[in-house]
């Protein structure tokens, strides 16, 4: 996905999706231009209830790097779980492999994490994986494939992990570089840039 296209998505949604380091820098297009892309971007946007739920749904889809069918499948699964659907959906999304790799600190962005997974650079419970559409359970262990530890993205991880602390539901061993998914996060532990209940309304129509 080109940088310009990603920036247009953030401007259209009015929310930083945190694609990469550019999003957190002064180069962020949304910080420099608060208007939506297009010739009518400067005009105030009047949204219906459907429009608001659509935007929140889109935020979730892009934030977790999902395709439309994948997100719909997760929503359907969350609605069948024995807890409120918004909480269940957050648990599923936060346990997605590329998201966990990013939060553990192996990479600086979810896009990079997804790319490294697709190239087979990670093991989950000792098995090589190439799909980021994998969901972890408490106790699952993530590690860099031994043959990949010396490639450029992982060369300075020991130094990084000396100063980086992952969120409390994850753990990283600074010596072995192994990560562990300890538990599912609670909603109040997350500062998510979207409204999950409102997004779920999109699928109830």
pLDDT in tens, 68-82: 999 999 999 999 999
What would the pLDDT profile of 149-192 be if each residue is shown by its tens digit? 999 999 889 999 989 999 999 999 999 999 999 999 998 999 88
Q: Is 70 exposed, middle or buried (0-12, 13-18, 19+ CB in 10 A)?
A: middle
- Angle between the 68-79 and 85-94 helix axes, to the nearest 10 degrees? 130
What's this model's pTM, rounded to 2 decimal places? 0.81
Q: Percentage of the chain with pLDDT > 70?
A: 77
pLDDT, residue 147, reads: 95
- Where in the chain is CATH 3.10.290.10? 96-181
- Where in the chain is CATH 1.10.1050.10? 48-89+193-205
Residue ranges of the alpha helices (H) in the chain?
Answer: 3-13, 29-32, 49-63, 68-79, 85-94, 97-104, 110-118, 157-163, 196-203
108: Cβ–Cβ under 8 A, 6 or more apart, which residues?
A: 20, 21, 102
The class that CATH gives domain 96-181 is: alpha beta
Confidence of residue 3 (pLDDT cuts 50, 70, 90): very low
Confidence of residue 196 (pLDDT cuts 50, 70, 90): very high
138 sits in the region (left: phi over 0; alpha: psi -120 to 50; else beta) called beta
pLDDT, residue 100, reads: 98
Task: Find the range with the poorest average confidence among 39-48, 92-101, 130-139.
Answer: 39-48
CATH number of 48-89+193-205: 1.10.1050.10
Distance in angstroms (rounded) separating the CA atoms of residues 17 and 33: 15
Confidence of residue 204 (pLDDT cuts 50, 70, 90): confident
**DSSP state, residue 165:** -
pLDDT, residue 2, reads: 44
Q: Yes or no: say if 201 and 89 are a contact pair by the CB < 8 Å rule.
A: no
């Amino acid at each position: 996905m080109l940088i310009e296209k990603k920036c247009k998505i953030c401007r259209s949604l009015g929310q930083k999706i945190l694609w990469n380091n550019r999003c957190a820098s002064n180069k962020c297009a949304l910080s420099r231009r608060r208007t939506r892309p297009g010739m009518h971007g400067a005009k105030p946007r009047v949204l219906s209830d459907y429009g608001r739920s659509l935007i929140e749904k889109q935020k979730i889809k892009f934030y977790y790097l999902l395709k439309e069918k994948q997100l719909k499948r997760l929503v359907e699964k969350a609605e069948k779980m024995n807890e409120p659907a918004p909480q269940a959906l957050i648990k599923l999304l936060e346990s997605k492999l590329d998201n966990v790799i990013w939060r553990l600190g192996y990479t600086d962005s979810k896009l990079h994490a997804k790319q490294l997974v697709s190239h087979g650079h990670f093991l989950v419970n000792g098995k090589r994986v190439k799909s980021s559409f994998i969901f972890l359970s408490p106790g699952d262990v993530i590690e860099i494939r031994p043959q990949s530890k010396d490639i450029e993205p992982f060369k300075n991880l020991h130094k990084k992990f000396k100063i980086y602390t992952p969120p409390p539901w994850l753990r990283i061993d600074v010596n072995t570089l192994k990560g562990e998914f300890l538990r599912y996060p609670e909603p109040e532990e997350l500062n998510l840039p979207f409204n999950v209940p409102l997004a779920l309304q999109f699928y109830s129509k």
